[in-house]
């Protein structure tokens, strides 16, 4: 539980809690903490490692309980990479690692790294603090300026009733520079902190940027043409607008169903079967192209010596008439003549009978 509380307090110290500048520094004691670093050199483009050592220099009855501050460097000369608490090659382990502690850092501005540390039980060791990796971007040099350094010393007090209570004392130190990075032929500046003043952490307030709307070209109030269209599903319905043209009405067409016919049965000696040839012997043409007459046909079976062979017989007719219609017409004419003759005979009989009665 104490570990979680320590991490939460560390995060608050690093990112949120404001520290009053004038009064805070006045309520704190000027401490004797010492931070040291050795200058390193390298060519442009090389990644170099810089080690930082920490010596709290607290009274014997106090332990390092918390620490916060910032480190500045030239961002045009070097770019900050990783922060390491362990370097196995050099057999280095941070005094803040492996404790009930939290060490956090944040590069919140070009050339400035903020850091915070807190431990619920206090740290007694000193020495290697952390290792920073930088890439050299160009010829030149930079030192490291530490500012806003504040820390507390924790003291445990045994009470008369056997319980233990704790109290802390707050300290600060003035800005200072230590170590640095340089390329060949350059010297490390040593007075980087000469113009610096103590500046405790203040809450980072993001100033909203003023957004200037980009003017858009006027189109005279006309609709902007759409230059792209959404794909449509090929099997789906297609949207349309405007007048819909109805489909043309379906006109019924007379369909002539051909009369059934029997397929001819070939004799055993026949070579093949095939459709009947309307131009073969025993058949008649469909009609006369000159007169416009149309013939009718019936299918008959003729028995021959070698078997049964189907054929087509033409029924002679004029126009669209058939033999059956001609027969009915003749019968009708005969009936009509008989009826006329009968009525004439009946009329003669009635006239003669009337004259006999008159006589």
Which pTM was predicted? 0.52
What is the pLDDT, as a whole number, of residue 353? Answer: 82
Please give the helix or strand (H or E) that residue 87 lies within, else none.
strand 86-87
On whether residue 158 sits in a domain, the answer given is: yes
Please identify, among 131, 157, 182, the residue that sits at the C-terminal boundary of a domain: 182
Q: Please give the residue range of the domain that contains residue 67.
A: 2-182
Query: Which residues lie across from 306 on neighbouring strands?
Result: none
**Residue 61 in domain:** yes
CA 226, CA 236: separation in Å to the nearest integer? 22
Q: Give the number of residues written for the chain.
A: 359
Answer yes or no: is 50 within a domain. Answer: yes
Count of domains forming the chain: 2
For the chain, the straight-line distance linking the first and the last C-alpha, in angstroms and rounded, comes to 158
Answer yes or no: is 332 within a domain.
Answer: yes
Task: Examine residue 238 and state whether it is found in any structural domain, yes or no.
Answer: no
Q: Tell me, what's the pLDDT at 232? A: 39
DSSP string of 257-322, one letter each residue:
PPPP-PPPPPPTT--------TTSTT---SB-TTT--B-EEEEEEEE-SSSEEEEEEEE--STT--
Q: Give me the half-sphere count of Cα atoms (radius 13 Å) on the Cβ side of residue 10.
A: 24
Is the residue at 202 inside a domain?
no
Per-residue pLDDT of the chain (359 residues; tens, 9 = 90+): 555 555 555 555 444 434 433 344 457 899 999 999 999 999 999 999 999 999 999 998 899 999 999 999 999 999 999 999 999 999 999 998 877 566 777 887 889 999 998 888 899 899 999 999 999 999 999 999 999 999 999 999 999 999 989 999 999 999 999 999 999 999 988 888 988 999 887 654 444 555 555 554 544 444 444 444 334 333 334 444 445 556 666 555 665 655 555 555 444 444 444 454 545 444 444 444 444 444 444 445 444 444 444 554 444 444 455 566 677 788 888 888 888 888 888 888 888 888 877 76
Q: Which of 182, 200, 223 is the last residue of a domain?
A: 182
CA–CA gap between residue 187 and residue 141 (Å, rounded): 7
> For the domain that residue 49 is a member of, what is the CATH number?
2.60.40.680
User: How far is residue 336's CA from residue 304's CA, in Å, rounded to a whole number?
Assistant: 45
8 located within any domain: yes
Q: Phi-psi region for residue 185, left (φ > 0), alpha (ψ -120 to 50) or beta? A: left
Is 163 inside any structural domain?
A: yes
């Amino acid at each position: 539980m104490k570990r979680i509380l320590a991490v939460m307090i560390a995060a608050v110290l690093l990112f949120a809690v404001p520290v009053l500048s004038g009064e805070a520094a006045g309520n704190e004691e000027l401490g004797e903490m010492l931070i040291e670093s050795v200058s390193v050199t390298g060519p442009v483009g090389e990644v170099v490692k810089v080690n930082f050592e920490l010596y709290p220099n607290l009274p014997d009855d106090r332990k390092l309980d918390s620490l916060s501050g910032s480190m500045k460097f030239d961002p045009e000369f070097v770019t900050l990479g990783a922060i390491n608490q362990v370097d196995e090659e050099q057999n280095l382990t941070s005094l803040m690692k492996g404790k009930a502690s939290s060490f956090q850092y944040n590069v919140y501005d070009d050339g400035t790294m903020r850091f915070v540390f807190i431990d619920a039980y206090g740290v007694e060791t000193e020495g290697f603090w952390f290792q920073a990796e930088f890439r050299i971007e160009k010829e030149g040099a930079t030192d490291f300026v530490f500012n806003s350094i504040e820390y507390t010393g924790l003291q445990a007090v045994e009470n008369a009733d056997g319980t233990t209570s704790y109290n802390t004392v707050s300290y600060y130190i003035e800005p200072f520079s230590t170590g640095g990075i340089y390329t060949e032929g350059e010297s490390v500046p040593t007075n980087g902190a000469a113009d610096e003043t103590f500046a405790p952490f203040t809450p980072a307030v993001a100033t909203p940027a003023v957004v200037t709307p980009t003017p858009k070209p006027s189109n005279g109030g006309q609709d902007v043409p759409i230059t792209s269209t959404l794909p449509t599903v090929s099997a789906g319905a297609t949207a349309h607008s405007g007048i819909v043209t109805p489909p043309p009405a379906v006109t019924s067409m007379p369909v002539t169903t051909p009369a059934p016919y029997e397929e001819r049965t070939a004799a055993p000696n026949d070579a093949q079967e095939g459709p009947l040839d309307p131009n073969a012997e025993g058949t008649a043409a469909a009609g006369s192209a000159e007169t416009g007459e149309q013939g009718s046909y019936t299918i008959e079976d003729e028995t021959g010596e070698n078997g049964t062979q189907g054929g087509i017989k033409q029924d002679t007719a004029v126009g669209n008439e058939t033999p059956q219609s001609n027969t009915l017409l003749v019968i009708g004419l005969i009936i009509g003549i008989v009826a006329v003759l009968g009525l004439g005979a009946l009329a003669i009989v009635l006239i003669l009978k009337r004259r006999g009665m008159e006589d």
